[in-house]
Structure 1
Amino acid sequence: MARASAPRTQNSALIGLREDAGLSQDDLAEALNALAAKRHGKYPNVTKKTVGRWERGEVAWPQPFYRRLLAEFFDCASDELGFQRPRRTTDNAPTSDGELLPLVASPGTVDPRVDKDQQEWKDTRAVLGTFRRGLAVVAERLYPDSTVPGSEGSGVIAGTDWLPSVPVPLSELGLELDTDDSAVPAVDGSERQSAGVRPLASAEQRYHRYSHAVRDLAAPRLFENRLCFRLTALDLSQPNPRLRFGTMGFFDSIDTNEALGHEMAAHHLVRDRHGDLGVGRASWRRLAFRKHVGDPFDLSRRPLLGAIGTLTIRAGESPSMVLHQRDGGRVAGGGGMAHLLPAGIFQPSSVIPDAVRNDFSIWRNTQREFAEELLGHVEYDGSGRPIDYANREPFAGMDRARGEGRIRVYYLGVTLDALTLSGDILTVAVIEPDTYDELFGAAVTTNDEGRIPARHLPFEANTISRLHELGQLSPGASAAMNLAWQHRRALLDRN
């Protein structure tokens, strides 16, 4: 009886690589023959028919030299070519092309291509921190219809109706948590389009996710995959605006946000004739992953972490504000920028169910960040017991002050950093001077994430303009300052 042949599977990955390069099957065959001759001194006879058999799955596992040649030509790992390794039938059975499958890699060997690729990845990530703000400004130009009025040229964008016309008292903002949300985002950062920002883990395979590469090659001091609240919908059409959330892991945001920033840095940082590095012109060319993400305001496309940034204003006759200089060596995202204080990921203080429910509150999150960033409390990292806010200071004192109107908190809207498409839920906390001094008179000058300027900055137009001109503000900080300044009378008037 004739043996049934294995079913063929079209090699969509290889077809995609060729089509993305704008090549016909003939073009690819000629290019592979030329590469073999130039780099390896070999002269194979790759033809259109050869390429077609690979793509149709007639040859599911080409000879090693062909796989290597294709990987070199497309600058990818072998596992990204879409070929299917034949299954072993016995320990020593040859494969269909006469090879024995290797059991393990040769011990003690380091592939120079892997080392080179990883070093280039680390170099790009290092300069990403240095040029983060400039790259955000360039990325903003990719979305010309989504700039934030008053914050043009700061690297911030916002969706239609993402910003309320006037600040909303936080007590009037509705929050919904869907812990049973099973909808999986269409993009998670493991797609073929993100391969260019995921370095080689070995000669045969790239890192599956960007966060895995950060963990192994450039781990910051704070890098844990904690439970976070994921923004899934905004609704400003009701009398009271509402935000809906699901849950996600912190690394989910690294796999998309930081990957998008890395891609921009890889293709928009250029050297001038003197060899100095700078930011080039905005272009969608070669931004395969960003194109794949698509509409940055479609919250079903990717997991959007709900980070909360609060502009803290010490009120009184001479209102002032304080900023946070984040250290790129201590945090995974936003390093090297002057950011809002407090600012932090919207997440519970503990994974215990009671804490998840109790901490699903923008105010509770802001309180914890005040305690960590201004008072130097150990970070509430999700590993402990739920917080007794009613009886534990400084939380109880902040609650009393807010209940008496000495702390007033407002919702300003949601914006995105155009570079990474990470989100900021922007708020402003206006604190009466005596209350501020009582709560934060013993504020620390440094914390786990960076440095805090020793003096307060005047909350006035000249200061805000000057900070914008210096180019050191994070996109979220720039947007919050400008929005707060536009509505300063409503925010500072206690009547």
Structure 2
Amino acid sequence: MTGQSWLWTPPRPTPAPVGVGQLLRAYRQAHGLTQQQLADQLGFDQSYVSKVESGRRAIHDISTLRHIARHLDLAPEDVGLAPGALADRRREIGRDTLAEQATASQRAWRVTRDTLNRNRIKLAKAAAGLYPDTYRLLGSGLLTRSDWTWQRPLDISEIGLRWSDELAEPTITGGEPETDGARPLIADGGPFVRYQRYTRAMRDLDRPTLFENRLSFRLLDVTRDDRGVGGDAGRPVLTFGHTTYFDAVDVCETVAHETATAMMAGGLSWPALPFRRRIGDPFDLAARPVLPSINTLTIRADRDSASFLLHRRSAGSVATAGGVYHVIPAGVFQPSGITPFHHRADFDLWRNIMRELSEELLGNTEHDGNSSNPIDYEADEPFRAFEQARNDGRIQISCFGVGLDALTLFSEILTVVVIEADAFDAMFAEMVHSNAEGSVVSAGPNHPVADGIPFTYATLRRLVDSEPLAPAAAACLELAWRHRELLLPGLRLRAAS
């Protein structure tokens, strides 16, 4: 692969408003600068920058604040100045104290959120280091247990699904006192009133394009029955109940925000992570609302080669896992509507994957969870074509197991779909270049997106080791390569020596 355009290029950092000291520190971290380099850029002394960052020196001089905004290419309000005629809008020190405290709290929240979104992969791998080695999955940033992953990829039909209406309310919701640091103050809420939910803060302060609270399937347990499969102790069985998307996000993004805050303050350690400590055992699925995402590595298999699809998710569009490479499709496990009929028809892993293929590869939006009309999977396209190809053996859909993103503790169902080249080309002739969640990656400027990325060991290592690849995507690629002879029996894909 000689083309470089498929490689992720970080967007130009645009720090969110925050207190000046925190702002300077966040700006340095985002741009990889030392205090001396930032001081040189601003024409300040390094000791002055150090004092401002630590809070030992406050800046009240309007001309100095203007100077910082101008040289860092920031808006006046980012450094605490009102836009427009600044001299005419100067505030008296001490006026509107509560509002100013809330504003400062929200600025700090925004910059931490920005740091989180820019460093999710680094943070996930660091968070994985907090847990025993036996829980870490292939250095991907995912956590798992030996009974949560299978000895070989299993056909999706071999994964049992069980429903339970007898579920206790979770004891962890994201509103605990340990989460105060991740929930900013509300400007008009009186002294020290915080947002009750992280998702409410996201709605007001950092709302992504796709942000709807949909009914979803809550993962309650991962067990085995007495039907042995693939040398395992028994057939995997996943038990589910109901939850909502926001209920899960309130926990997973709060624990991620706390992790980013600790990293900005100097590093991860259990004393600096009170909410993660409160959660305790990450595999205790009854304690918190756990919503799984189904992550599917899509492989196009030709006679003598294979390629896979990759997606760059937009941080401004999605609530989680933005700004990273991911497999495509990937989406939370949820029904396409809210009626009992939707529930019965859509409580199926393969059907969820088919809807995501329709949405993310073909650009269809009518099956996004808001539909009032049920889907006829046997007659409606493209589902009819997907199902026919699977029945004919031209599509193989397999599952590797279940993991947890170490940063967010969001659950991840790891799957792979292998599609014969002719069937793929027919079904995805109208494949889109971008969708509501981001852009499909190509192997170079002159390569169609449907060609995908070559499925080679060199490409895998380059992505996993050097690029911002979502932990679930890294795990899917590593596991697919490990089991390539089972998934692609007709191909000879050599591993590097």
Unaligned runs of 5+ in 2: 1-95, 229-234, 444-451, 492-497
Residue-by-residue CA offset, 1:169-202 (whole Å, 9 max, x unaligned): 1111111122x23311110111111111111113
**Cα distance in structure 2, aligned partners of 1:332 and 1:326:** 10
Partner secondary structure for residue 331 of structure 2:
strand
- CA contact under 8 A between 2:262 and 2:272: conserved in structure 1? yes
Partner secondary structure for residue 295 of structure 1:
coil
* TM-score relative to the length of structure 1: 0.74
Q: 1:237, CA displacement in angstroms? A: 5.1
Q: 1:204, CA displacement in angstroms? A: 3.8
Answer yes or no: is 1:308 the counterpart of 2:300.
no
- Structure 2 letter corresponding to 1:377: N
**Cα distance in structure 1, aligned partners of 2:273 and 2:192:** 24
Answer yes or no: is 1:334 the counterpart of 2:329.
no
Residue of structure 1 aligned with 2:354, choices 354, 367, 384: 367
Show the 5 A alignment for 1:403-414: 403-414=391-402
Residue-by-residue CA offset, 1:224-249 (whole Å, 9 max, x unaligned): 11000011011135322111111100
- Structure 1 letter corresponding to 2:298: T
Answer yes or no: is 1:247 the counterpart of 2:229.
no
**Cα distance in structure 2, aligned partners of 1:329 and 1:146:** 35
Show the 5 A alignment for 1:258-297: 258-270=253-265, 281-297=267-283
- Structure 2 letter corresponding to 1:321: F
Larger radius of gyration, structure 1 or 2? 1
**Cα distance in structure 1, aligned partners of 2:163 and 2:264:** 40
- Structure 1 letter corresponding to 2:467: G
Show the 5 A alignment for 1:126-205: 126-149=114-137, 151-152=138-139, 154-178=140-164, 180-201=165-186, 202=189, 203-205=191-193
- Structure 2 letter corresponding to 1:175: L
**Cα distance in structure 2, aligned partners of 1:284 and 1:148:** 17
- CA contact under 8 A between 2:295 and 2:414: conserved in structure 1? yes
1:483 corresponds to: 479
- Paired residues, number: 376
Residue-by-residue CA offset, 1:23-49 (whole Å, 9 max, x unaligned): xxxxxxxxxxxxxxxxxxxxxxxxxxx
Unaligned runs of 5+ in 1: 1-107, 271-279
**Cα distance in structure 1, aligned partners of 2:309 and 2:370:** 29
- Structure 2 letter corresponding to 1:432: E
- Structure 2 letter corresponding to 1:369: E
1:463 corresponds to: 459
Q: 1:148, CA displacement in angstroms? A: 4.0
1:208 corresponds to: 196
Residue of structure 2 aligned with 1:354, choices 306, 327, 341: 341
- Structure 1 letter corresponding to 2:362: L
- CA contact under 8 A between 2:442 and 2:453: conserved in structure 1? no
- CA contact under 8 A between 1:410 and 1:427: conserved in structure 2? yes
- CA contact under 8 A between 2:170 and 2:287: conserved in structure 1? yes
| Fraction of identical pairs, as percent | 45
1:439 corresponds to: 427
Q: 1:109, CA displacement in angstroms? A: 8.9
- CA contact under 8 A between 1:309 and 1:425: conserved in structure 2? yes
- CA contact under 8 A between 1:349 and 1:381: conserved in structure 2? yes
Residue of structure 2 aligned with 1:428, choices 407, 413, 416: 416
- CA contact under 8 A between 1:133 and 1:471: conserved in structure 2? no
- Structure 2 letter corresponding to 1:370: L
- CA contact under 8 A between 1:308 and 1:343: conserved in structure 2? yes
**Cα distance in structure 2, aligned partners of 1:139 and 1:182:** 29
**Cα distance in structure 2, aligned partners of 1:494 and 1:460:** 15
Q: 1:281, CA displacement in angstroms? A: 4.0
**Cα distance in structure 2, aligned partners of 1:454 and 1:390:** 32
CA pair 334-379 structure 1, distance change in 2 beyond 3 A: farther
- CA contact under 8 A between 2:311 and 2:327: conserved in structure 1? yes
**Cα distance in structure 2, aligned partners of 1:148 and 1:298:** 16
- Structure 2 letter corresponding to 1:168: L
* TM-score relative to the length of structure 2: 0.73
Show the 5 A alignment for 1:5-154: 111-149=99-137, 151-152=138-139, 154=140
Partner secondary structure for residue 393 of structure 1:
coil
CA pair 340-186 structure 1, distance change in 2 beyond 3 A: same
Q: Name the stretch that deviates more: 198-207 or 420-429.
A: 198-207
2:50 corresponds to: none
Residue-by-residue CA offset, 1:301-349 (whole Å, 9 max, x unaligned): 1111011000111112111101110000000000011111000010001
| Cα RMSD after superposing both structures | 1.6
CA pair 379-130 structure 1, distance change in 2 beyond 3 A: farther
**Cα distance in structure 1, aligned partners of 2:270 and 2:366:** 39
